[in-house]
């Protein structure tokens, strides 16, 4: 990932650059912005049977881990088979999912590099890599919200980034259900996505802002159950200021986790890289140009891992 706020702001920033007519009206913009959350809501499904929740979590990992071009072409095909009244919202949602991929692909190697460096520096963090990853992302979320919007989660709560209509829930669920079966052989009911988004919303309403009474209580309960709290790691602190070590604004060296190269980009650089890469990806997708989309994907999955597009 990045996390919920960064993906929403990325969607807001790239939406004006889409060709005129692709996003018409508030509902299509909301569909696009929700799509920019990508498969992340699937990871937090909890208010259902354990087996159904586990299937949603598995699908999120499958989407992120490979068959990128195949999945997006199946998504495009799914849009074409929606009822005519739902097609525009479906296309907007699909274009948003592509935005999520573009930002994940660019930023994830950086986040993973920071995660590994922190865990290597402090052996007590060896069993907390997922939580360290989440802390980095939530710090970047809080920074980018202040840097780009001059706000904190008190003024712009993370849960508010999940605004949607019943049509958007229905269309998003139908599209992800089709991709799940056609590409990954996973059966997920078309109504599950709506439940995932609602759970994602519930989670952030519970844990934000960090150190609020509810957030502390959630952390205590989770630590009693498993010794560590992912919820606390995901919570956003109220921060007013442009300093953020997690964003590497001084462009200090970091090592790419996949090829070992020493790189110096800040998170802001990688955000801009994804923003500049997005229009070509979107054009190839809208035109249904599979070979060009595969070339632009460049074999990289959502984590930026090469050789993952089968």
Percent of residues, the chain, with pLDDT higher than 70? 100
Q: How confident is the model at residue 53 (pLDDT cuts 50, 70, 90)?
A: very high
Q: How confident is the model at residue 169 (pLDDT cuts 50, 70, 90)?
A: very high
Q: How many CB atoms lie within 10 A of CB 80?
A: 10
Tell me, what's the pLDDT at 135?
Answer: 92
Tell me, what's the pLDDT at 125?
Answer: 82
Q: How confident is the model at residue 126 (pLDDT cuts 50, 70, 90)?
A: confident
Write out the two tokens for 290: 């599979």
Please, how many CA atoms are within 13 Å of residue 57, restricted to the half-sphere of its CB?
12
Would you mind telling me the total number of residues written for the chain in this entry? Answer: 310
pLDDT at 268 over 80: yes
Percent helix, strand, coil in the chain, to 5, is: 70, 0, 30
> Residue 125 carries which DSSP code?
G
Contacts of 114 (CB under 8 A, 6+ apart): 136, 246, 248, 254
The CA–CA distances, whole Å, from 53 to 70, 80, 183 equal 25, 29, 19
Q: Are 111 and 295 in contact (CB under 8 A)?
A: no
Q: What is the pLDDT of residues 201-225, one digit of tens each?
A: 999 999 999 999 889 888 898 888 8
* Nearest Cα to Cα of residue 113 among 262, 220, 231: 262
Report the C-alpha gap between 129 and 72 in whole angstroms. Answer: 30
Q: How confident is the model at residue 1 (pLDDT cuts 50, 70, 90)?
A: low
pLDDT at 2 over 80: no
Tell me, what's the pLDDT at 22?
Answer: 87
* Nearest Cα to Cα of residue 147 among 2, 279, 10: 10
The CA–CA distances, whole Å, from 101 to 20, 38, 280 equal 22, 7, 13
Distance in angstroms between the alpha carbons of the first and the last residue of the chain: 21
* Nearest Cα to Cα of residue 40 among 87, 92, 103, 128: 103
Tell me, what's the pLDDT at 227?
Answer: 83
What's the average model confidence in pLDDT over 250-272?
Answer: 96
Greater confidence (223 vs 197) lies with 197
Write out the two tokens for 277: 């890469």
Arithmetic mean of pLDDT over the chain? 94
Tell me, what's the pLDDT at 270?
Answer: 97
- Determine the 3-state secondary structure of 227 from DSSP: coil
Cα angle at 11 between 279 and 110, to 5 degrees? 85
pTM of the model: 0.95
- Determine the 3-state secondary structure of 136 from DSSP: helix
Helices (H) and strands (E) in the chain, counts: 13, 2
**Tokens 């354990």, located at residue:** 50
Q: CA torsion sign, 222 to 191 to 27 to 1?
A: positive
What's the average model confidence in pLDDT over 60-68?
Answer: 95
DSSP, residue by residue, 240-305: -SS--GGGTTT---EE-TTT--EE---HHHHHHHHHHHHHHHHHHHHHT-HHHHHHHHTT--TT--
Residue 149, class by beta-carbon neighbours within 10 Å (0-12 exposed, 13-18 middle, 19+ buried)? middle
What's the average model confidence in pLDDT over 229-242?
Answer: 91
Q: How confident is the model at residue 310 (pLDDT cuts 50, 70, 90)?
A: confident
Q: CA torsion angle for 291, 267, 307, 97 (degrees, to 10)?
A: -50
């Amino acid at each position: 990932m990045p996390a919920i706020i960064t993906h929403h702001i990325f969607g807001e920033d790239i939406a004006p650059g889409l060709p005129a007519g692709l996003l018409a009206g508030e509902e299509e913009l909301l569909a696009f912005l929700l799509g920019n959350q990508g498969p992340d809501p699937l990871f937090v499904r909890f208010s259902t049977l354990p087996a159904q929740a586990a299937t949603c979590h598995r699908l999120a990992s499958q989407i992120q881990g490979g068959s990128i071009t195949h999945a997006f072409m199946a998504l495009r095909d799914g849009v074409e088979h929606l009822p005519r009244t739902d097609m525009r919202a479906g296309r907007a949602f699909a274009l948003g999912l592509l935005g999520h991929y573009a930002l994940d692909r660019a930023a994830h190697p950086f986040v993973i590099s920071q995660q590994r460096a922190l865990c290597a520096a402090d052996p007590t963090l060896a069993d907390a890599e997922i939580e360290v990853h989440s802390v980095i992302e939530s710090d970047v979320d809080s920074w980018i919200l202040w840097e780009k919007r001059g706000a904190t989660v008190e003024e712009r709560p993370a849960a508010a980034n999940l605004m949607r209509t019943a049509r958007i829930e229905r269309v998003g669920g139908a599209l992800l259900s089709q991709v799940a079966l056609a590409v990954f052989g996973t059966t997920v009911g078309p109504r599950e996505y709506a439940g995932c988004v609602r759970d994602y919303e519930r989670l952030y309403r519970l844990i934000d802002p960090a150190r609020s009474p509810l957030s502390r209580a959630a952390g205590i309960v989770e630590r009693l159950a498993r010794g560590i709290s992912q919820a606390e790691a995901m919570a956003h602190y109220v921060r007013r200021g442009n300093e953020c070590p997690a964003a590497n604004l001084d462009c200090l060296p970091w090592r790419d986790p996949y090829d070992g190269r020493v790189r110096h980009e800040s998170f802001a650089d990688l955000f801009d890289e994804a923003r500049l890469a997005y229009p070509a990806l979107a054009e190839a997708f809208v035109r249904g140009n599979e070979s060009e989309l595969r070339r632009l994907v460049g074999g990289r999955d959502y984590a930026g891992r090469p050789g993952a597009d089968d």
